[in-house]
Amino acid sequence: MRAGAFLLSVAVALAVALPADGLVPGATEAPTPVQVPAPAPAPAPPPAQAPGAGATPAQATVTIDPALPGERVPREFVGLSFELADARQLAAYGSRGNLVALLRSLGPGLLRLGGASADTRVAWTDRLTPRPAWASSVLDMADLRGLRTLAAHSGWRVLLTIGLAHYDPRAATREAAAAKAALGPQLAGIEVGNEPDSYGRHGLRTLPWTASQYETEVSTYRRAIAASAPGIAVAGPGVSGSRAFRQWGSAEVRRQHPALLTGHHYPLRCDSVPAPTIEQLLSTTTREKEAESLTRFLTVAHASGTPFRMDESNTVSCGGTAGISDTFASALWAVGYISQTIARGASGINLEGNPANCKGYSPLCAPSPARLTAGSLHAQPEWYALLLSRQLVGDRPLPTRVLAAQQPNLSVAALRTPTGALHFVIVEDEGGGAGVTLRLRVGRGYGSASMLALRAPTPAARSGVTLGGRAVAANGSWSGAASSPRVRVREGAVSIAVPAASAMLVTVSPARSGG
């Protein structure tokens, strides 16, 4: 069964039509949640009074179809993406700082190194390959060995982007062979070029520049790499959005038969007028456009039978926007977005980051130059979204439907765990509302539900974020929920009160036999 069948459907009194257009051109687009009503902890309300206290919460009912589960969430579903220019800094963190502990707290994952710098700033160097005049920095064997240490200590693997904009098959071959030798099993694969569909617009190729021309150049790279270092998996085309992907992804499938299809997504543009806002990021309109974008990506992937990974994504393009990308709103967006990529059947997602910029988008960053050198990274709000989402690895998404007299600003995804429990991922995006009371119809055989709440003072908060009442420690660890409120399942249903501007993972456990 196609993963698209697991898109959440919303039944409301007034149907809301999806816009014909997807995301604004130029914003890297990709899938996120089809919005639907969502729940939060009922038995134990949060310590701080929720926004909209005193108002009446919206009411909604969630139903699932446990007979039609999707594919299991892959073990490396969660990932991070950084500029290739950050590779040397990150490689040093394999032996100092808290990055290893942070990565280990998420379980196995995929570290993607790429971005625009892979094409325009970073060049491979070795004794046969001098640094070219255009490169402002380099990657060498010592860097790759450092990345191997980081990967081995953390349990993560590396997806490496090899530049194409400055066409050089011989240098690319040497780089790929060195990566295979240095990283060994920690090398998940390579991508050739970053957002090649935009080369013409950025002056990296003469217009017209087509998918066919790109694939011809990639084929030359691949033949040379296969002759020197056979067996390296190839991913691509890593284009800037779903509209380009329909053509470029299809061409990649025909010409390269890649091990993995990849694309990028940013729901908001840094140069949009009016300027992007938190309200826009968390709006139903954005989620609806993201749902359309995800459909375009996954249609190509499903038709070819090739896994698809959103290997670069975050809130606002161009490095993010302070006051949006560094706030709790980004965590709410990320939880909903990740859960919907799961529901659609994507094989993984990488949130883009910059370890030196805490004011833009980045799940992790260093608040000062001294901490950057030491590798003492701070967990930003989005990191908590990854901590919540990693609980879903191994689960199977279930068809989910939400019924409501009105359409609350929230999303719900349901999954079945390997032990037979149910997971509900709920995101309430209405910052000034009264929240939602959800009735989860789970059927017979379930005993009680526990809640893991993701909270912060407001959507605009840059600090005070907790998951299960606890913050990430300075050493990178998260010790689990301080408490786990529970509520009994009665007559095959459980009621959950979801505070405004919060996310929650509800786990509904099977009833104990004889108990």
Q: What are the pLDDT tens digits along the chain (515 aa)?
A: 434 433 333 333 323 233 333 333 333 333 333 333 333 333 333 433 444 555 789 999 999 999 999 999 999 999 999 999 999 999 999 999 999 999 999 999 999 999 999 999 999 999 999 999 999 999 999 999 999 999 999 999 999 999 999 999 999 999 999 999 999 999 999 999 999 999 999 999 999 999 999 999 999 999 999 999 999 999 999 999 999 999 999 999 999 999 999 999 999 999 999 999 999 999 999 999 999 999 999 999 999 999 999 999 999 999 999 999 999 999 999 999 999 999 999 999 999 999 999 999 999 999 999 999 999 999 999 999 999 999 999 999 999 999 998 888 999 999 999 999 999 999 999 877 889 999 999 999 999 999 999 999 999 999 999 999 999 999 999 988 888 889 999 999 999 999 999 999 999 999 986 54
Query: CA–CA distance from 400 to each of 48, 153, 397 (Å)?
Result: 31, 38, 9
SS3 track for 275-323: CCCHHHHCCHHHHHHHHHHHHHHHHHHHHHCCCEEEEEECCECCCCCCC
Residues for the chain: how many in total?
A: 515
Query: How many Å apart are CA 125 and CA 225, to the nearest integer?
Result: 16
Query: How many Å apart are CA 218 and CA 274, to the nearest integer?
Result: 39
Question: How many helices (H) and strands (E) in the chain?
Answer: 12, 24
Task: Copy the structure tokens of residue 443.
Answer: 């059927």
DSSP state letter for 449: E
Q: DSSP states of 15-57 as a string? A: --PPPSS-SPTTS-----PPP------SSS--SSPPTTTTSPP
Please give the single-letter amino acid code of residue 478: W
The three-point CA angle 266-271-277 to 5° equals 70
Task: Copy the structure tokens of residue 18.
Answer: 């999806």
SS3 track for 55-78: CCCEEEEEEECCCCCCCCCCCCCE
The whole-model pTM stands at 0.89
DSSP state letter for 133: T
The 3-state DSSP class for residue 245 equals helix
Query: How many Å apart are CA 386 and CA 393, to the nearest integer?
Result: 11
Q: Taken in order 49, 53, 54, 60, is the CA torsion positive or negative? A: negative
Beta strands per DSSP E along 399-501: 400-404, 410-416, 422-428, 436-441, 446-455, 466-467, 486-488, 493-498
Query: How many Å apart are CA 446 and CA 494, to the nearest integer?
Result: 10
On whether the CB atoms of residues 16 and 284 are closer than 8 A, the answer is yes
Per the listing, tokens 């990296």 go with: 204
φ/ψ of 480, rounded to 5, equals 95, 175
Query: How many Å apart are CA 179 and CA 211, to the nearest integer?
Result: 27
Query: CA–CA distance from 56 to each of 18, 60, 453, 500 (Å)?
Result: 28, 13, 21, 12
Omega before residue 237 within 30° of 0, cis = yes
**Cα–Cα nearest to 283, from 26, 35, 9:** 35
